[in-house]
A and B are shown apart, each in its own frame.
Chain A
Amino acid sequence: MTGVALTAAQAGLVSCEACQLLARPANPEEPGYCRRCGEKLEFRRHASIQITWALIIAAAVCYIPANVLPVLNTTQLGTTEADTILGGVAFLYTSGSWPLALIVLIASVMIPLGKLVALAYLLITVQKGSVKNNHDRTRLYRMVEFIGRWSMLDVFVDTFTVALVQLQPLMSVAPGTGVLFFAAVVVLTMLAAESFDPRLIWDSATPTPVPNG
């Protein structure tokens, strides 16, 4: 493209998020649905900042019980032992498989926390109308989107541990309440990443009256 860079919103066009078709809505207040694929058309994701804030606050609240409450209760010869996520990491470390301990630590503790911090940083800079580090912030967003699913790791570990170790009365493993909170953290942060609109990062540099941003 030659000349001045123009965004679709500046040109009055909506880009379909599913099939990338550009449409010029008759009524910018209500762009309607994409004629090619049926996706709801929006200049910017609906109430992106508010919804993302709500989801990451909810996820941050769930993050505490997810780490404090036990995720697994192991019953062996009549005695029951409760394990938190960090307890599981410590178990893997002491049993000699430190690479796995590191993977679980990164996936279960650091990725969720990192996602919360990263999304909060993106929201704050967008709300302040920052025009700096746009490339880095876009890259950060893409990383959050890409890496988020991996924090589901511990939910799968617990599920298959519970499913396999059912050798009553010898030994059995039951899930703890922490699993639910942990799964909630993962789902809420994934939804938060989906509701954040990366185009807002660039909008401060190209001011536009966005009808339904």
Chain B
Amino acid sequence: MIACADCDLLQHVPPLSPGAKARCPRCGCVVAKRPSGPKDLPLALAFAAAVTFILANAVPLMDLSVVGRTASTTIVGGAYQMWLEDERITGALVTFCAVIAPGGYIAFMLTILLATRRSPVPHWAGELLRWANHFQVWSMLEVMMLGILVALIKIAELATVSAGIGMYAVGALLVLFPAIIVTFDPREIWNRVVWAGDDATPRAPEGAVVTEPPR
């Protein structure tokens, strides 16, 4: 039994077949879903995302050349330039949304997925999962990508611009991020997490109901 996140209606979620979703009968919000696909797929995707993320941050996003002079920038380099130009808060915000939040999300997901390969799932993995969700909200790689494209087209009027390897890496991340989110099953992990103060498997305290029997 769970309560809908959007309207608080109490409801039973029936056992879902792979790929199925359960919607709240009152407000239509998706209350539960079970992804299809192999169980280790999110882990593989998270590994791929980690490698791609390092690449995306290590190499220049794009190069610019005008009358024999060249310039290039990485993601952090862009934010650092803002910092140098005395727009420190904006620089920090860009760093947070484009580097720290997505990087933290990938790192936390990798840790969680590795930790949950065995049962019982340690309590800290649940805490990490909670934080990973906060990072996910502020991770804006797709917005950054569109922003870079607009900037490129603006600058292309003035100089020759070419996309670097970093740009393709960011493009790959735009596919990997939603893929992790879609294939990842948080409910399955929540059902196996050890509760605070417990040392064994999940146990329902008085009045609380565990959503599903552990699979």
Contacts and interface: CB of A to CB of B under 8 A. Distances in A.
Contacts of A152: 97, 140, 143, 147
B78 to A, nearest CB: 4
B87 A175 contact: yes
B182 to A, nearest CB: 16
Interface of A: 1, 5-9, 11, 13, 15, 17-24, 33, 35-39, 88, 91-92, 95, 97, 100, 103-104, 134-135, 138-139, 141-142, 149-150, 152-167, 170-171, 174-175, 179-180, 183, 187, 190, 194, 198-199, 201-203
Interface string B18-31: 00000000111100
Interface of B: 1-3, 5-12, 26-29, 61-62, 64, 66-67, 69, 71-73, 77-79, 81-82, 85, 87, 89-91, 93-94, 97-98, 126-127, 129-130, 133, 137, 140, 143-144, 146-148, 150-155, 157-159, 161, 186-187, 190, 193, 195-197, 202, 205-211
B143 A149 contact: yes
B77 A23 contact: no
Contacts of A203: 8
Nearest to B157: A95
**Residue from B8, B66, B143, B146 with most neighbouring chain A CB atoms (10 Å):** B8
B73 A39 contact: no
Contacts of B81: 159, 162-163, 166
Given A149-B143, A156-B94, A91 B6 contact: no
A162 B71 CA distance: 11
28 contacts: A6-B9, A13-B10, A13-B208, A15-B2, A17-B5, A18-B129, A19-B129, A20-B2, A20-B190, A21-B190, A35-B196, A35-B205, A36-B126, A36-B190, A38-B130, A92-B150, A142-B6, A152-B97, A153-B143, A157-B150, A159-B82, A163-B73, A163-B78, A164-B62, A164-B151, A167-B159, A171-B158, A202-B6
Contacts of B64: 164-165, 167
Nearest to B207: A24
A163 B10 contact: no
Given A36-B202, A141-B6, 18 more contacts: A6-B10, A7-B8, A7-B9, A15-B3, A19-B129, A19-B193, A23-B205, A36-B190, A134-B27, A135-B28, A155-B93, A156-B151, A157-B154, A164-B71, A166-B71, A170-B67, A179-B90, A183-B93
Nearest to A33: B196
B147 A180 contact: no
A18 B69 CA distance: 51
Contacts of A187: 93
Tell me the interface secondary structure of chain B in the complex. Answer: mixed
A92 B91 CA distance: 24
Contacts of A167: 64, 66, 69, 71, 159
Nearest to A179: B90
Nearest to A208: B8
Contacts of A164: 62, 64, 71-73, 78, 151, 155, 161
B143 A156 contact: yes
A159 B79 contact: yes
B178 to A, nearest CB: 13
A128 B97 CA distance: 36
A92 B153 contact: yes
Contact of A35 (B79, B186, B195): B195
Contacts of A150: 143
Contact of A156 (B6, B12, B98, B209): B98
